[in-house]
Each structure stands twice: as structure tokens, then as C-alpha cells.
């Protein structure tokens, strides 16, 4: 899959990302992956994280829920109180629903497993930067029952949902609907956000139960 283009947030300025992770190898990999597309910084502790937020003014911060010097959730709560317009998502090995629920409660727009592929991380980053919410496919959703009617989807989104339920990949969806792979991925993310569905399995079940598949 082709790498996404940089996202401009003001004129031609690249979006600014701040990563916080106490594992140096993980942090280096994240910075290497994101640096061609965004302006990036990385820190390995929460004290540096909060100080860097104040000085760097990131558009999006991505942090772990457990850091050696404190709780990532509490740090997130503090920085969002001081910087209410900033976007935030968690990247963690903890995928249980209770962690996702707490992330939502503190105001995070995204939650992703560290086992997720790079393409999904980039999709999550783009989705959150563009004002959406993203719960990773390998994460247990905080709530599974809250969905909205399929009437809130566009005709194209219903077509994409039908193909997802049939087991089609983003590349296959793009080919069948004569759209780009990136557009197919954005439709998938929009469906997940609008219907509050957090995995392919949930989307498939939703489509089958409503006769969309």
C-alpha cells in the first residue's frame, strides 16, 4: 500500500505529532515511520511529555497508557485540560475494553493496539487529525451495542459496508467500486465512526443483521 501524503493543518504546514513511549526501540520505529509525513517529536517519560506538549504544541499526541513515571490516562487528562483543542490517541499493548472505556472518558479520539500494522496506525492518525475517531481492529470496544441506523450512511458507504461483510479487502473494494484504496479505507473508517462499530467482525454482524450483506 502506498504511503499516505502529509496532512496540512495550516496552509502548507505539516501536522505535528508527539509520541510518548518508554520503549526506545518502539519510539524510534514510530518516529522513523511518521517523519516522512509529519513533523514529529518523541519522549520516553511523562514529565518530558507534558513539557514538550507545552513547547511543541502538537496537533496530535500518541501515548502509551503505562509509563515508568506515571499513568498515561492521568497525563492525558491534564494536557487536554490545558490544551482543549489538541487531539489525542493511545497506542498500547493493553487491548481490554476497560482501557478503551477509560481512554474515551479522558477525551481520547483514538485507541490502537501496538500489534496493529503500520497501515492501520497511519489510517488512525489521518482519521483523528481529520476530526474523526478511531478504535483499532485488534482492540475490544468499550461498548458493542450502541449503533445508529444504516440510514445515516451514504449510498457509497452502504456499498462499502456490504463488500466488507463479504470479506473484501480495501484493495478489492477499491477495484470493484472503481475508487482508490485510500478512499476505500476512509469510507471504512467513516462507517466505523458513524455506526460506533470497532472491528470488521462487528461491521459484518451489523450488515448481516440488517440484510445489507
**Residue indicated by cell numbers 506515571:** 70
Q: Helix 181-195 to helix 200-209 angle, to the nearest 10 degrees?
A: 70
pLDDT, mean of residues 155-170: 90
By C-alpha distance, which of 113, 135, 121 is closest to 191?
135
pTM of the model: 0.65
Quickly count: other Cβ atoms within 10 Å of residue 152's Cβ: 11
Q: What is the DSSP letter of 144?
A: S
What confidence tens digit (pLDDT) does each residue in 90-119 have?
A: 999 998 888 988 898 899 999 999 988 888
What nine digits make up the cell of 84?
482543549
* Domains of the chain, each with CATH number or no CATH: 8-135 (3.40.50.2300), 150-209 (1.10.10.10)
- Give the per-residue pLDDT at 28: 96
Three cell numbers written together for 208:
448481516
Q: Which is it for the CA torsion 75, 78, 80, 83, positive or negative?
A: negative
Highest mean pLDDT among 42-51, 101-110, 123-132: 42-51
- Give the model's pLDDT for residue 2: 39
Amino acid at each position: 500500500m502506498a504511503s499516505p501524503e502529509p496532512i496540512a493543518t495550516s496552509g502548507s504546514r505539516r501536522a505535528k505529532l508527539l509520541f510518548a513511549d518508554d520503549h526506545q526501540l518502539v519510539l524510534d520505529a514510530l518516529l522513523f515511520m511518521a517523519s516522512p509525513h509529519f513533523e514529529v517529536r518523541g519522549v520516553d517519560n511523562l514529565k518530558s511529555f507534558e513539557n514538550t506538549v507545552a513547547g511543541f504544541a502538537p496537533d496530535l499526541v500518541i501515548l502509551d497508557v503505562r509509563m515508568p513515571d506515571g499513568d498515561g490516562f492521568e497525563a492525558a487528562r491534564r494536557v487536554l485540560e490545558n490544551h482543549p483543542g489538541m487531539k489525542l490517541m493511545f497506542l498500547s499493548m493493553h487491548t481490554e475494553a476497560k482501557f478503551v472505556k477509560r481512554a474515551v472518558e479522558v477525551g481520547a479520539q483514538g485507541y490502537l493496539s501496538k500489534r496493529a500494522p503500520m497501515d492501520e496506525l497511519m489510517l488512525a492518525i489521518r482519521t483523528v487529525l481529520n476530526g474523526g475517531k478511531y478504535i483499532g481492529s485488534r482492540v475490544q470496544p468499550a461498548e458493542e451495542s450502541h449503533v445508529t441506523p444504516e440510514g445515516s450512511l451514504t449510498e457509497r458507504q452502504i456499498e462499502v459496508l456490504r463488500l466488507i461483510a463479504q470479506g473484501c479487502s480495501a484493495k478489492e473494494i477499491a477495484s470493484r467500486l472503481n475508487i482508490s484504496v485510500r478512499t476505500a479505507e476512509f469510507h471504512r473508517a467513516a462507517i466505523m465512526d458513524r455506526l460506533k462499530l470497532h472491528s470488521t467482525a462487528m461491521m459484518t454482524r451489523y450488515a448481516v443483521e440488517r440484510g445489507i450483506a
